[in-house]
Amino acid sequence: MRYLAGVFLAVCCSATSFASVCEYSAPEVRSLAYQKGAFLPVFFSGYQLDLPGVPFAFLSGDSFVAAYPEKGYIGVQHLDPVQMAESLPRLAKGLTSVADFYRLIYGVSTPLEASANPQELSLQRSLLKLDCKSDTVFFDRDNIQIIFHGAADSADFHKIMVLDGNNVELITVRGRREVALQVVGSIKRRL
């Protein structure tokens, strides 16, 4: 009898450890006041951000990159819905907006939540390395939604998605979290 009780306890304990999955939950929502950056403003699409310091190189084309010492950089690119056309309807029926794609994945409220495919949502979150330990914050300022997804480690980069209507601008920052948050604070609409 004692043997069966020990086996039962061992099975229950191991089942509990397997059941505790690190599920992603919707990010914290914060309001954000504009904070002027330390250096040059950069204009992209209908927005601007201020660089937090003097870069040693610039590269521009369809996107923009400012390079900093110690492999640091800030990059800006527009996410084109044509490039994601296959992924959108798999996530939710009627999904055509790249912005709504990211709203669904990051758990920002959208009317398409009810029609989301749970398996595809889980897959997309795992591809973006989203789980309960993810450093995600949702900022809202002047009808601009900004999703901050912090780097997992010092070799990774911070992702900042600027969502406005159906458009998405992706800003990547390699460097300290504080620098990435300075960039987030300096984002505003161009006049």
- Give the whole-angstrom CA distance, residue 166 versus residue 81: 9
Bridging pattern class, strands 41-44 and 136-141:
unpaired
- Please give the model's pTM, rounded to 2 decimal places: 0.82
pLDDT digits (tens, 9 = 90+) for 118-162: 899 899 899 998 999 999 999 988 778 999 999 988 778 999 999
Confidence of residue 75 (pLDDT cuts 50, 70, 90): very high
- Domains of the chain plus CATH, in order, are 2-189 (3.40.1000)
